[in-house]
Amino acid sequence: MTANHDQPPDAEALVRRLHDEHASSVLAWIRSRSADSHDAEEIVAETLVKAWRNYQQFDPARGNERAWVFGIARNVANDHYRRQARNLRLVAAMEVGDLVSDDVAQVAEASVVHDALMDLSDNHRQVIVEAYFSGRPVREIGERLGIPAGTVKSRLFYAMKALRASLEERGILQ
Amino acid sequence: MSDHAAFRDWAAAYVLGSLEAAERSEFETHLASCDECRARVAEFAPIPGLLSRVEPVDNPPVPGAIAELAVEQVRSDWTALRRSRTRWRSAAVAAAVLVIGLVAVLGLGLQDDPGQTLEVKSEAATTGHVVLISKTWGTEVEIDLQDLPADDHFVAWVVSTDGGWEQVAAWGPTPLNGARVTGASSVATSEVESVVITTGDDRHPVASATAHSDP
């Protein structure tokens, strides 16, 4: 009983949840800004620990958790690169500059949109990718997927409904 | 009405730019007279702008080592804090005796050490300093903090060079989020590695001050 009182309220569970929900997005962002993947992994691990240590300061009223975690990641990355630059003088100023100039709230929001897109069913994501990212007209999408044009329109409709609902659930749209 | 049935599913393809020119103008003509389709278009309209900021590719897989590295660090933080608490409990009686001794010693005014001032560092906005004053019984710890995070209970700990933790002070919320408290530790000043401030209930580290270490 007393041991439980001394235990953190699921400290480990909190770190694992933060990891599961944000590590992959943070890693993708840091990697897009850094050549060294080992560095990126260290930065993500340190970000999770700092997020746990400071979790009390997370205020949902001031933004979503993803943006808060990205803010921590940026500070950790900046410290990391600054330390490296001091010790090794190897890091291109560009990398640090890019991270600093990124608008963390925007990067975090984009990462949530990415999550929503990637969490769609394969059928739904496929038609959105064909229509929006590949810029194909409905008829051509139908030919590629072997389905009638009417079915493409209706699948796009339900895919967009699902995406919209997911974006609402994630607080990106109201 | 029957008109709408023919265009019911078109709004998404329209917003994503996938209707060919003829269908597009056909749908736009229909839109002018259909509230429902206009509502659908409005519903989908913000989505292309959001999609323009992402790539439809999977994030790289996250190496399992990241979670383990983080969890291990958190566990070790906690082990240190838990050990400190156990020590504190077992030392409760000794502490009571110590306080009596402390009053006696202070009364005699045996020592007048100017103290060693340590700067407080924090991931949060907390700033301030800690002064360690060497005493015959251990160390007096003067803590002066500003901008503590919102919490209703804080605890200050002395961490000794052998890794032990001892609670030296505890306090509640203050109107300006600052704190000036004086605590006492049985740890000799030369053996104080750092002073750590945590929240009272969850024991989240809030700030710490590290003593000038030996070379």
- Per-residue pLDDT tens for B72-113? 888 887 776 656 555 555 555 555 555 555 555 555 544 456
Would an 8 Å CB–CB cutoff place A60 in contact with chain B? no
Query: Tell me: the pLDDT tens digits for A67-79?
Result: 999 999 998 888 8
Residue of B nearest to A39 (CA): B66
- Which residues of chain A does B69 touch, with a Cβ-Cβ cutoff of 8 Å? 41-42, 45
CB contact under 8 A, A53 and B62: no
Query: Tell me: the pLDDT tens digits for B45-82?
Result: 999 999 999 999 988 888 988 999 898 888 887 776 65
Q: Which of residues 115-144 of A touch B (CB under 8 A)?
A: 117-118, 125, 128-129, 131-133, 135-139, 141
CB contact under 8 A, A132 and B48: yes
- Which residues of chain A does B53 touch, with a Cβ-Cβ cutoff of 8 Å? 106, 109-110, 113
Residue of B nearest to A167 (CA): B47
Q: Reduced to 3 states, what is the DSSP secondary structure of residue B185?
A: strand
**Cα–Cα dist B193/B210, whole Å:** 6
Q: Which of B184, B175, B114 is nearest to B146 (CA)?
A: B175
Q: Are A56 and B149 in contact (CB under 8 A)?
A: yes
Place of tokens 């590290």: B210
Would an 8 Å CB–CB cutoff place A104 in contact with chain B? no
Q: What is the pLDDT of residue A57?
A: 80
Using pLDDT thresholds of 50, 70 and 90, give the confidence band for residue B1: very low
- Which residues of chain A does B73 touch, with a Cβ-Cβ cutoff of 8 Å? 45, 49
**C-alpha B188, offset from chain centre:** 30
Would an 8 Å CB–CB cutoff place A49 in contact with chain B? yes
Would an 8 Å CB–CB cutoff place A45 in contact with chain B? yes
| Identity of residue B127 | T
Mean pLDDT, range A138-162, rounded to an integer = 97
**Cα–Cα dist B178/B143, whole Å:** 10
CB contact under 8 A, A56 and B20: no
Q: What is the pLDDT of residue A100?
A: 60
Would an 8 Å CB–CB cutoff place A7 in contact with chain B? yes
In the structure encoding, which two tokens stand for residue A39, read together? 């560095």
CB-count burial class (<10 Å; 0-12, 13-18, 19+) for B214? exposed
Q: What is the pLDDT of residue B106?
A: 52
From the list A54, A55, A118, the residue facing B58 with the nearest CB is A118
Residue of A nearest to B12 (CA): A157
Angstroms from A137 CA to nearest CA on chain B:
4
Please give the residue that has the higher pLDDT: either B122 or A26.
Answer: A26
Q: Are A4 and A48 in contact (CB under 8 A)?
A: no
CB contact under 8 A, B10 and A157: yes
Residue A174 clears pLDDT 60, i.e. is over it:
yes
Which of B54, B90, B151 is the best substitution to test chain A (most A C-beta atoms within 10 A)? B54
Angstroms from B182 CA to nearest CA on chain A:
24
Q: Reduced to 3 states, what is the DSSP secondary structure of residue B197?
A: strand
Q: Report phi then psi at A75, rounded to 5.
A: -65, -45
Would an 8 Å CB–CB cutoff place A61 in contact with chain B? no
Mean pLDDT, range A3-28, rounded to an integer = 77
Q: Which of B146, B154, B141, B144 is nearest to B124 (CA)?
A: B146
Number of Cβ within 10 Å of residue B113's Cβ equals: 13
Using pLDDT thresholds of 50, 70 and 90, give the confidence band for residue B152: confident
DSSP string, A23-72: IHHHHHHHHHH-S-HHHHHHHHHHHHHHHHHTGGG--GGGS-HHHHHHHH
Instruction: Give the H/E segment covering residue B180.
Output: strand B179-185
Place of tokens 């700990």: B157
CB contact under 8 A, A152 and B69: no
CB contact under 8 A, A53 and B204: yes
Rounded (10°) CA dihedral B174, B202, A57, B124: 70
With b meaning 16 or more CB within 10 Å and e meaning fewer, what string describes B115-125?
A: bbebebebbbe
Instruction: Give the H/E segment covering residue B132.
Output: strand B127-135
Q: What is the pLDDT of residue A61?
A: 81
CB contact under 8 A, B15 and A160: yes
